[in-house]
Amino acid sequence: MPKYKIAVLPGDGVGIDVTEAAMVVLEKIGFDAEYIYGDIGWEFWCKEGDPFPERTVKLLKRTDACIFGAITSKPNKDALKELAPELKDKGLSYFSPIVRLRQEFDLYTNLRPCKAYLGNPLNYRDDLDLVILRENTEGMYAGVEFHPVPDEVKNALLLHPKMKKFESVPPDEMAISTRIMTKKACTRILKAAFEYARKYKRKSVTIVEKPNVLRETGGLILDIARKMAEEYPDIEFWETNVDAMAMWLIKNPQDYSVLVAENLFGDIISDLSAQLVGGLGFACSGNIGDDYAVFEPTHGSAPKYTGMYKVNPIAMLLATKMMMEWLGEAEEAGRLENAIAEVIREGKVRTYDMGGGSSTLDMAHAVASKL
Ligand code: IPM
Ligand code: MG
């Protein structure tokens, strides 16, 4: 019996190409696992009205971890147009399956390392080693939204004096998206950030927020963070407003180490940070809960490159490395990271984003050859 059961969800577009690349490397390293493929993505939305079918939810529940490629997402109105005719007018609505997966499996930490590997021509600087911990289950992504706004919701909001100016706006002439943050979720993501910093001997944890304007939600997480920081005197605790953070990340990114943020802010600063170390071809992430985790490259499905084996699989290979680490296979994870680093350093095999002409699978085989 293999040691691990891994769910593999290639998804759409180039998600399929990079998943194949991950398999090349996993096989070469001799990772002791059984791989079970599952359905997710656009095709299942169009044909079945659910991009993340129940059978896939069940599959994940009987595996130890999951590798996820990429999926195509579209705004709800566009998504409805592509539904199979018999599914139209059934009141279905599209919700991003990856966001749903994070929430339903309570994968509350979105861990996004952004490290510069020497020899990568796309590095903004060579001395960067940032890690972002993004809250992954609530905040601006909680999904509690209204359009048109029901009277009950409007009346409830009128308890707040600032709502007064919207009182006479007709229900369909406004939309509301909420930012809901709980003490529980704030506490656990902050704890994950401080524990990460301690485990990997990081010098600082920076909370990225906007409490001067978002006084209630931003204030809540900041209070908890300040209190928690006292329990970690060995780690410097910094507070930065998200807008200023965007600026500092361009000005002096080398000063930062661990960043922790609410869902949407974490989404934004993690793309910025990823670009500093090579962009989406290098951006890996782990959606991590207490006993399950899903690893993915953060890039999308890039439909125009489908099946062309053009995109850089390094993000996916680094996500695979993160999975091994999370499963406790530190030695294999280290070997994989060294192999990736060596291929980047040599610079002989480069995908188009790196200025080269190598394919997705050329890169995978180059990494495999170092293992
Ligand atoms: C990410 C992506 C997703 C997100 C999209 C695809 C829903 O941008 O993983 O960062 O917004 O979280
Ligand atoms: Mg994103």
**pLDDT per residue over 33-58, tens digit each?**
999 999 999 999 999 999 999 999 99
**156 and 65 share a domain?**
no
Q: Residue 363: what pLDDT?
A: 98
Q: Is residue 122 part of a domain?
A: no
Q: pLDDT band at 270, cuts 50/70/90?
A: very high
Average of pLDDT values for 102-127? 98
The CATH code of the domain that includes 298 is: 3.40.718.10
* Residues at CB less than 6 angstroms from ligand 1: 73, 96, 98-99, 267, 298
Total domains in the fold of the chain: 3
Residue 44 token pair? 């299942």
SS3 351: strand
267 Cα–ligand 1 center, Å: 7
Q: Which ligand is nearest to the Cα of residue 272, counting in written order?
A: 2
The Cα 270–Cα 357 span in angstroms is 27
Mean per-residue pLDDT, 170-187:
98
Q: Which domain holds residue 161?
A: 144-177
What number does the ligand 1 atom closest to the CA of 110 have? 9
Q: Whose CA is nearest to atom 4 of ligand 1?
A: 267
- Which of 96, 270, 316 to mutate to test ligand 1, by most ligand atoms within 8 A of the CB atom? 96
Determine whether 2 is exposed, middle or buried from the number of CB atoms within 10 Å of its CB (0-12, 13-18, 19+).
exposed
Q: How many residues make up the chain in this entry?
A: 371
Same domain, 149 and 100: no
Last residue of a domain, one of 257, 276, 295: 276
pLDDT category at 323 given cuts 50, 70, 90 is: very high
Residue 212 lies in a domain: yes
Percentage of residues of the chain with pLDDT beyond 90: 96
Domain termination site, one of 240, 255, 276: 276
| pLDDT tens profile 65-81 | 999 999 998 888 899 99
Question: Which pLDDT value is given to residue 89?
Answer: 86
Residues facing 67 on adjacent strands: 8, 295
pLDDT for the residue numbered 221: 98
Looking at the structure, do residues 1 and 92 belong to the same domain, yes or no? yes
Q: Are residues 13 and 113 in the same domain?
A: yes
For residues 233 and 170, state if they share a domain.
no
pTM over 0.75: yes
- Has residue 123 been placed in a domain? no
Q: Are 169 and 201 in contact (CB under 8 A)?
A: no
Among candidates 270, 244, 262, 259, which has minimal Cα distance to 205?
A: 259
Q: Indicate if 173 and 232 belong to the same structural domain.
A: no
Find the mean pLDDT for residues 106-127.
98
Q: Which two tokens stand for residue 116?
A: 């510069």
The pLDDT score that the predictor gives to residue 18 is 98
The per-residue pLDDT for range 278-303, each reduced to its tens digit, is 999 999 999 999 999 999 999 999 99
The amino acid sitting at 74 is K
39 and 76 inside one domain: yes
Cα–Cα distance, 286 to 292 (Å, whole number): 10
Q: Which atom of ligand 1 is nearest to the CA of 300?
A: 6
| pLDDT tens sequence across 210-247 | 999 999 999 999 999 999 999 999 999 999 999 999 99
Q: In what helix (H) or strand (E) does residue 20 lie, and over which residues does it extend?
A: helix 14-29
Which residue from 98, 264, 271 has its CB within 8 A of the most atoms of ligand 1, so it is best to mutate?
A: 98
Same domain, 6 and 111: yes
Q: Assess whether 135 and 257 both reside in one domain.
A: yes
Mean of pLDDT over the chain? 97
Same domain, 28 and 85: yes
In a domain, 320, yes or no: yes
